[in-house]
Amino acid sequence: MQKTFTYKNEEISYSCQGKGALVILLHGFLENKSIWNNTISFLTNSFMVVAIDLPGHGSSPCLGYVHSMELMADVVNELLKHLNKRKCHLVGHSMGGYVALAFAEKYADKIYSLSLICSNARADNKQKKIDRTKAIQLVKTKKNLFVEAAIPPLFNTEQKNHMRAINKIKKMAHDTSIQGTIAALSGMRDRYEREIVLKFAPYPVLIIAGEKDAIIPVQWLKEQSELPENCVLEIMEDIGHMPFLEDRIMFETLLMRFLKGV
């Protein structure tokens, strides 16, 4: 069911279904909460599942010109308070994982477990920061071009034709405002390295990597999976940056197995 809560006088959109321990799902850049629809249907048999539209995405407004990971983590904390819950399992895809790590840094005691899906605790390197700044310039005048180029490489199209999913995400991306797109790009470019959050994680961590992910190399995730004391690393063969769309059944099985074991 679609609902809203208020963060600093702005209405933030979320959905909530099922009963049990709370799982909060955080989508990636240019996506929105509906990206999780299949995952939600699967998890609601066992959990209370909440998916949020992060600021500037889906039906949630922009909260300024830069959406830092810390700002978005505070929005998630407000959601937790609004739900009257003390703790959650946090699941973040890519940019959603950067937000989850920022939340984990500030609010470690509010986490049952942390799942990072094709996400990464390192900051952008110098080249990536330059690329983000160029992307911001492009989005200002030609956002359509940016979206058309940015979405297809998220999938491993060598194995399977993902045209339907690609078009679905392109639509979400085209629906994301220019301000929302730039605020997220700026926030990701300026984000801090958070490997220390993994190193000292007092809760179980799941890292799901796509073997063919062109955005977050699997090698980085192999290295980062060594940091937490209690970490499960799952490498999905032949999968790109979108495991929950590229192999839904495998993704759901891995996530459910981890969450149930916590």
Smallest gap, in angstroms, from Cβ of residue 31 to ligand MLT? 7
196 vs 214 by CB, closer to ligand MLT: 214
14 vs 29 by CB, closer to ligand MLT: 29
**Residue 138, interface with ligand MLT (CB under 6 A)?**
no
Please list, in sequence order, all residues whose beta carbon lies within 8 angstroms of the beta carbon of residue 132, skipping any fewer than 6 positions away: 124, 185, 186, 188, 189
How far is residue 190 from each of residues 26, 98, 127, 180, measured CA to CA in Å? Answer: 19, 11, 13, 15
Residues 197-216 binding ligand MLT (CB under 6 A) are 215
What does DSSP say about strands 231-236 and 2-7: parallel, antiparallel, or unpaired?
unpaired
Q: Which two tokens stand for residue 37?
A: 């629809």
**Residue 95, interface with ligand MLT (CB under 6 A)?**
yes
Smallest gap, in angstroms, from Cβ of residue 215 to ligand MLT? 5
**Residue 187, interface with ligand MLT (CB under 6 A)?**
no
Binding residue count for ligand MLT, defined by CB under 6 A: 6
* Amino acid at position 154, single letter: L
**Residue 188, interface with ligand MLT (CB under 6 A)?**
yes
47 vs 132 by CB, closer to ligand MLT: 132
The DSSP letter of residue 15 is E
47 vs 103 by CB, closer to ligand MLT: 103
Smallest gap, in angstroms, from Cβ of residue 176 to ligand MLT? 12
Asked if 90 contacts 24 with a C-beta cutoff of 8 angstroms, the reply is yes
82 vs 195 by CB, closer to ligand MLT: 195
Residues 32-91 binding ligand MLT (CB under 6 A) are none
Closest C-alpha to 68, from 51, 48, 47, 54: 54
Q: Can you tell me the distance from the alpha carbon of 232 to that of 144, in angstroms, rounded to the nearest whole number?
A: 38
28 vs 58 by CB, closer to ligand MLT: 28
**Residue 146, interface with ligand MLT (CB under 6 A)?**
no
Backbone phi, then psi, for 6, in 5-degree steps? Answer: -105, 130
**Residue 239, interface with ligand MLT (CB under 6 A)?**
no
Q: Can you tell me the distance from the alpha carbon of 109 to that of 156, in angstroms, rounded to the nearest whole number?
A: 37
Residues that bind ligand MLT (CB under 6 A): 28-29, 94-95, 188, 215
